[in-house]
């Protein structure tokens, strides 16, 4: 008897591993000290397009009828203006596929990510590089892929090429792939290593919020750190926050490296994209944690390409989750 989503799980792992290799190849070839000082984001653009082409190509091979909600489209790669970037994308894409892809095939694969999403049927959602500034710094970024069926996330895979396998040894082996399927638990394995051993991961067992720690964004623009400080005060938190970019934060909380992840709204108009949270959401839940928006409502992935029914994100272990939600509500005072 087959296991629920067994094939999808294996294919998603392969896709994220290959896309992670593309991102690492882009970093080695194109990112320099000058890239950072000039704030040149072109390597991220190459990696974004190449990773999306690789993942979408694999998904089309195994699940040709499944649409994809992706972040990128190919319009910036077209014509003479896009020639240099297009050539780089095609070259880097072909470092991670078994059969070389033509320019047309790469562009077509990228454009498979234009599905509108919704509440019925199956679709995948992909963030080819989550944490662009982390990527450029050689720090934390993630390749994130999730399968949504009838508006609910059923499978999530997050590849974190620069995340230590064991956070107690920050200079030790790096490269983590976290995976979760609905009602099957959450696991981690070494990324791009021929060691297919998976180990279960679980959120922390902290029972008092004063013993907890936050996992927060490095980038100030991704969170309201002032509100975070107020929430920390209400919760009695004094521990130093774990700071990193991307959905690696979800993985860190899912395996107990930190206890709470907050994505507080920076203004009333901002709406989260589904690809920024789908995979991390199910990994936290399957690791024994809980996830909601800032009002304590579950994240609703049935609304299309965005989380239009929600504001912000709260993730924590089940012991302290309710306390955290109340502290967030008290701090934001129904702003959102």
Q: Which residues are catalytic?
A: 48, 132
Mapped onto helix, strand or coil, the DSSP state of residue 194 is coil
What beta strand segments (E) does 150-297 contain?
152-164, 174-181, 186-190, 199-200, 214-216, 242-243, 260-263, 289-292
Q: DSSP state, 311?
A: -
* Alpha helix ranges (H) inside 171-320: 225-235, 248-254, 278-286
Is the separation of the CB atoms in 214 and 242 below 8 Å? yes
- Which of 2, 54, 56, 3 lies closest to 24, judged by CA? 54
- Which of 269, 274, 277 lies closest to 306, judged by CA? 274
**C-alpha span between 47 and 45 (Å, rounded):** 5
Helix axes 42-62, 103-110, angle to 10 degrees: 90
Helix, strand, coil in percent for the chain, rounding step 5: 40, 20, 40
Kindly give, in sequence order, each residue whose CB lies less than 8 Å from that of residue 246, ignoring residues fewer than 6 positions away: 130, 131, 134, 140, 141, 142, 144, 160
Mapped onto helix, strand or coil, the DSSP state of residue 150 is coil
Is the separation of the CB atoms in 286 and 185 below 8 Å? yes
């Amino acid at each position: 008897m087959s296991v629920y989503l067994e094939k999808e799980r294996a294919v998603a792992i392969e896709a994220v591993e290959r896309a992670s290799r593309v991102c690492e190849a882009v970093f080695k070839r194109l990112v320099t000290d000058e890239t950072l000082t000039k704030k040149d984001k072109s390597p991220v653009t190459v990696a974004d397009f190449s990773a999306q082409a690789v993942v979408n190509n694999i998904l089309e091979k195994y699940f040709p009828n499944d649409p994809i909600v992706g972040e990128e489209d190919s319009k910036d790669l077209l014509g003479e203006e896009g020639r240099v970037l297009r050539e780089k994308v095609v070259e880097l894409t072909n470092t991670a596929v078994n059969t070389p892809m033509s320019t047309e095939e790469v562009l077509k694969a990228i454009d498979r990510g234009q599905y509108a999403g919704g509440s019925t049927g199956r679709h995948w959602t992909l963030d080819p590089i989550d944490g662009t500034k982390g990527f450029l710094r050689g720090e934390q970024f993630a390749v994130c892929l999730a399968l949504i069926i009838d508006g609910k996330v059923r499978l999530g895979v997050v590849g974190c090429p620069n995340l230590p396998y064991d956070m107690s040894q920050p200079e030790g082996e790096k490269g983590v792939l976290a995976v979760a399927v609905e009602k099957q638990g959450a696991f981690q394995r070494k990324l791009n290593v021929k060691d297919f051993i998976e180990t279960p991961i679980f959120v922390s067992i902290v029972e008092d919020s004063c013993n907890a720690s936050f996992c927060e964004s490095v980038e100030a623009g991704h969170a309201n750190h002032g509100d975070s400080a107020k929430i920390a005060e209400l919760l009695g938190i004094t521990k130093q926050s774990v700071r990193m970019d991307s959905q690696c934060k979800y993985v860190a909380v899912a395996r107990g490296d930190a206890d709470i992840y907050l994505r507080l709204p920076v203004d009333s108009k901002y709406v989260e994209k589904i690809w920024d949270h789908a995979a991390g959401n199910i990994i936290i839940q399957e690791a024994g944690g809980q996830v909601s928006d800032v009002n304590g409502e579950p994240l609703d992935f049935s609304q299309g390409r965005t989380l239009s029914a929600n504001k912000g994100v709260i993730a924590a272990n089940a012991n302290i989750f309710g306390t955290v939600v109340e502290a967030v509500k008290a701090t934001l005072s129904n702003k959102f």
